[in-house]
Amino acid sequence: MSAPQVMVSLLLAAAGPAVENRDLEAALQSLSEADFEAALAHIEAGLRQTRDEAQTAQLRLVQGEVYAALRQYAQMETAFARALEANPDARLDPQRVQPTVVALFESLRGRLQGTLAIEVDPAGAEVRLDGRLLGQAPWKGPVPIGTHTLEVGPTLTPLQVKVHTDQTEQVRVVLPAAPATQPAFFSSLAFSAQLRAAFGLSPSSGAGLEAGARLSGTYVFGELNATAGSRFGAALRLGTQAPRLLGPVTLSLSLDGYAVGGPALFGGGLSAGASLPLSTKFDVFAELSGRWIPSSTDYQGTHLLGVTGLRFTPGGQAGR
């Protein structure tokens, strides 16, 4: 076998998937027989008949290999460039084509670029190409030809984009609208019923019982309690509670309004407390309240009040 025939045997192209193109098959056959003139003629005939980009790319690859066998490297590079214009993902088979020719082909691929223009609605999302951060959308710039993986935002499914030589690939991505969220202190409202034992309710009795209801969110709560001691009364409270900072313990602080009967007296106060869950539905709590109510013959104007009790939340504790 002559030296040209040995070289041609190393330059056979990877035609990829089988295609119904007689000129391509004839060109490959002529190339294997070192009939370069016939191979080029079949390629030109095939290029005139096809409009399919994949077949065009395959014909141009074989054309480049013929020129490589003829050592006409300028024509080889032109043919390979046109193959990549038709199909940026076109490749030679390194198992069938001489390594130096494959290296020249891949070097050419690395030099060819196109432009990628990315628009995102709403703007500002991060964009990554093949895992590399490009910046924030909108973004436009040169990128290597071929198929790339585009990622927009933190959770969007990756997109495949194909960039052609000296062309601009426009990509527009519409991100899903973020779900509307409520302020944290209005989330997970829960109704609770509570029994409370109060100590120091008044100078004459020294103790009393309270029962009431509580509506609690994540960081705020409201309560309405009825008081039975030396006098009947009511307490209305609006407070705030902290997240669990000390293990399961929740701290709270409230502004209080009071009404005491016989004769009617109205006042206010401040309470601080802590609660400890016993289960998903029960917790025990303790509070210290400072109250101010106008003085009467049997009721002091200001005093401290200690309260402890049990709270029941039917649906389980919320906002903890």
pLDDT (tens digit, 9 = 90+) per residue, 262-298?
Answer: 677 788 889 999 898 888 888 898 998 888 877 665 5
- Round to whole Å and give the CA distance between 29 and 24: 9
The full set of domain ranges for the chain reads 3-111, 113-174, 184-312
**End-to-end distance of the chain based on CA atoms, in angstroms?**
86
Task: Report the interhelical angle of 53-69 vs 3-10 (nearest 10°).
Answer: 150
Evaluate if residue 205 carries a pLDDT over 60. no
Q: What is the pLDDT of residue 130?
A: 92
**CB count, 10 Å around CB of 121?**
11
73-86 vs 99-111: helix crossing angle, rounded to 10: 60
Residue type, 302: T
pTM for the predicted model, two decimal places: 0.50
Binned at pLDDT 50, 70 and 90, residue 85 comes out as: very high
Q: For 135-155, what is the mean pLDDT?
A: 90
Give φ, ψ of 121 to 5 degrees: -115, 115
- The Cα–Cα gap between 163 and 170 comes to 9
- CB 185, CB 218: distance < 8 Å: yes
Mean pLDDT, residues 155-171 taken together: 89
Joined together, the tokens standing for residue 17 give 């998937």
Q: How far is CA 33 from CA 5, 19, 126, 265, in A?
A: 7, 21, 54, 114
Q: What is the mean pLDDT of the chain?
A: 81
- Decide if 113-174 and 184-312 have a common fold: no
DSSP state for residue 186 in the 8-state scheme? G
| pLDDT given at position 24 | 87
Tokens, residue 294: 């106008």
Residue type for position 66: V
- What are the strands, taking DSSP E only, across the chain? 113-121, 126-129, 132-136, 139-144, 146-152, 159-163, 168-174, 190-199, 207-216, 220-228, 232-241, 250-260, 265-277, 282-292, 302-312
Query: CA of 27: how far to CAs of 46, 83, 269, 317, in Å?
Result: 9, 16, 98, 79
C-alpha 30/C-alpha 185 separation (Å) is 79
Q: What angle do CA 246, 219, 311 make, to 5 degrees?
A: 75
Percent of the chain with pLDDT over 90: 26
Which architecture characterizes domain 113-174 according to CATH? Sandwich (2.60)
pLDDT at 232: 78
Contact 225/237 with Cβ under 8 angstroms?
A: yes
What's residue 179's pLDDT? 66
- Return the structure tokens found at 171: 């990509």
77 by DSSP, 3-state: which? helix
CB atoms inside a 10 Å sphere around CB 119 = 14
Q: Which of 3-12, 81-90, 151-160, 285-294 has the highest mean pLDDT?
A: 81-90
Structure tokens at 136: 């924030």
pLDDT tens-place string over residues 58-76: 999 999 889 988 999 999 9
Question: Rounded CA gap, 146 and 109, in Å?
Answer: 9
User: Which tokens is 22 given?
Assistant: 């007689």
Rg (C-alpha) for the chain, rounded Å, is 41
- CATH classification of 184-312, choosing from 3.40.50.300, 2.40.160.20, 2.30.30.90, 3.90.1310.10? 2.40.160.20
Q: Residue 6 pLDDT more than 60?
A: no
pLDDT value of position 262: 67
| 64 residue type, one letter | G
Q: How many angstroms separate the CA atoms of 302 and 167, rounded? A: 82
List all residues 6 or more positions away from 71 whose beta carbon is below 8 Å from its beta carbon.
none
